[in-house]
Structure 1
């Protein structure tokens, strides 16, 4: 076999190998192009807004004793990557809450714990008004795709059974209407216990807040699950 023939044979073999390599690379790239691109898992914490009145604002408590702060600490201790925002305003009725809802709960909110209605009952506001306001707040949040945990309240006994009959079911009704979560009574285990309340007998002290956090924690974890935690 001549030298020229050997050179041509080597060149042909080299070109064939190069062609096969290019064909293999092209096939791999085609397969990669067909594979779905999965988004990187976010490390940003979920934002949970606690929206309510003095019961969550931390009336006469240090900032780290208020309900949102204690709730955040409890959730993080259980491994949740979450930031809890205190959007409580002392004295707020459901009407006042509705009026500030849109600017108090910004677009960064991933979930909301809604606690309002206690001041409505204390002032004897017609339950129909309270129901309309709570309904509208949950409706707006639901339309935004924000999962909600409705914290219920009970009417004071001194207002009589008729008022309680109209007021107490409000929170369950609204939660069921919009498929929201419900925690039936925010002050469960704390109301009327002098060891767990301030001297006014209405607002929880730091120990009382801790009891509330422990009681509501499973419901909040379910809320975070809905928000994608």
Structure 2
């Protein structure tokens, strides 16, 4: 009789206990630190690279929030100066898309390299996986300048063990059908191609979150 009473007491306690369910995992917070190519210059709200990238990742089953940290006209020096407040403490991965405005201003590639080195070093020191998106210089700036500038991005990525995507505007640059009338910034069709082509590299980046 006592054993039966004890059994009922245990069953009652289990029934009365609150049910604890696992907390839902928060989306990965991916920051895109960039210039007007990130900020969506000339495009309607929601049509820029970060928003389109987030939508594409979610279609592939990735629970990700893509943060737009693009500032039109920004250089690598500008990105470095605003790094700490643009990439907050809740960031979990970063795409660095900077350098185009350095090229347009004719900035010494060595200076661009030093700025990017500092940016990527500070991010990796925080334990954040980084994807460096490369840029290429048109050869009307001179063959020597173009070669030096183009090499910056791969060199920086390799130095810090970051992922590297060779050319952010791959498949879009110099195509009038994929750019705004200024011939520099992608239109909505151009952004779609950028997202499609960079997507595998971004998924590699997300796979590194929490791996270190």
What TM-score do the two structures reach when normalised by structure 2? 0.88
Give the corresponding residue for 1:122.
Answer: 104
Aligned residues: 197
Aligned mates of 1:144, 1:228 — CA distance in 2: 12
Match of 2:129 among 141, 147, 152: 147
Q: Over alpha carbons, which structure has the higher Rg?
A: 1
Distance 2:127 2:139 in 1: 36
Cα distance, 1:42–1:110 mapped onto 2, change above 3 Å = farther
Aligned match of 2:58: 76
Once the two structures are superposed, residues 77-113 of structure 1 have per-residue CA deviations (whole angstroms, 9 ceiling, x without a partner) of 1100000000000000100110000111001000000
| Contact kept in structure 2, 1:122 and 1:156, CA below 8 Å | no
Structure 1 residue 211: deviation in Å?
0.2
Q: For the residues of structure 2 that align with 1:151 and 1:63, how far apart are their CA atoms?
A: 23
What TM-score results when the alignment is normalised by the length of structure 1? 0.82
Residues 56 and 67 in structure 1, CA contact (< 8 A), matched pair in contact too: yes
Partner of 1:24: none
Deviation at 1:41, TM superposition (A): 6.7
Distance 2:91 2:82 in 1: 15
Q: Which has the higher helix share?
A: 1
Equivalent residue for 1:111, pick from 93, 108, 112: 93
Cα deviation, residue 181, structure 1: 0.3
| Aligned partner of residue 101 in structure 2, secondary structure | helix
For 2:132 and 2:48, locate their aligned partners in 1 and report how far apart those are by CA, in whole Å.
Answer: 19
Structure 1 unaligned spans of 5+: 1-13, 18-39
Q: Judging changes above 3 Å, is the alpha-carbon distance between structure 1 residues 142 and 42 closer, same or farther for their aligned structure 2 residues?
A: farther
Q: Distance in 1 between matches of 2:210 and 2:188?
A: 30
Write out the 4+ residue segments of structure 1 that deviate beyond 6 Å after TM superposition. none
Structure 2, unmatched stretches of 5+, are: 4-21
SS for the counterpart of 1:90 is coil
Rounded to whole Å, the distance in 2 between the matches of 1:114 and 1:128 is 18
- Distance in 2, matches of 1:186 and 1:208, equals 11
Q: 2:162 aligns with which of 175, 180, 184?
A: 180
Residue 42 of structure 1, CA deviation: 4.9
- Written as runs of structure 1 = structure 2, the 5 A alignment for 1:151-162 is 151-162=133-144
